[in-house]
Amino acid sequence: MIWPLGKPDDWLQHVPFPQPTAAQRDAIAAAAKELDALRTNWLNPPEWTKTEVLEFPGSADGPWKRYVHDPNAKGIGTVRYPRVVPKDADAAAKLKKRTLTNLYNDRPDGHYWYQGGFNPNAVWALIVGAVVGMVFVFVPVLHFLGAFAWFIGVAAGGGTYWWLMRRAGAGAARAERARFKAAQA
């Protein structure tokens, strides 16, 4: 088969993917590490959990290889796998309610709270962006901006979303993250 634009594998060679600087990579890694710590701390609070170490034989080149200690000549060693378990029955009952779904749907004043599986602020922002974009296409006086309707609509929708989320309490989420950082220090 002859491809008019070359082979599909060649297409990505011409896409200018961004090349982050070392500082940007470090900032992304730090943000990801912080997010993981926040999520892990919410899912398994230290006051409700303890760490148990499971020990069993395992292969040094199997799925447990990073936990294998002192392998013999055949590559079989002792797996020491740390796992987080509830401290008691009360903590186990509380931890059953701690799921990723509940993390993002838990508190109405929280940063990740949604109603019925959608973010109403995002829906309003989408409507505003679409209406603003259509105005430039359907109003004859504004046809000269029709070529830019998509960009103007995206900017209007993005600005609306930013404003609605600020108004709805994204600042409270920042304060919550600051309290978590202060508790970690």
Q: Which two tokens stand for residue 121?
A: 């602020």
% of the chain residues with pLDDT over 90:
46
pLDDT of residue 42: 86
Q: What is the pLDDT of residue 103?
A: 73
pLDDT digits (tens, 9 = 90+) for 134-163: 998 888 898 888 888 889 999 999 999 999
Question: Regarding predicted confidence, which is higher, 63 or 5?
Answer: 63
- Flag whether pLDDT at 4 surpasses 80: no
pTM summary value = 0.47
Tell me how crowded residue 81 is: count the other CB atoms within 10 A of its CB: 14
pLDDT of residue 144: 86
CA distance 43 to 37: 10
Q: Output the furthest CA–CA distance in the chain (Å, rounded).
A: 82
Q: What are the tens digits of pLDDT across the range 44-99?
A: 999 999 999 999 999 999 888 899 999 999 999 999 999 999 999 999 999 998 88
How many CA atoms lie within 13 Å of 8's alpha carbon, on the beta-carbon side? Answer: 1
**Domain layout of the chain by residue ranges:** 45-98, 108-185
pLDDT tier at 2, thresholds 50, 70, 90: low
- Nearest residue to 127 (alpha-carbon basis) of 104, 152, 156: 156
Per-residue confidence (pLDDT) for residue 14, from 0 to 100 = 64
CA–CA dist 37, 27 (Å, integer) = 15
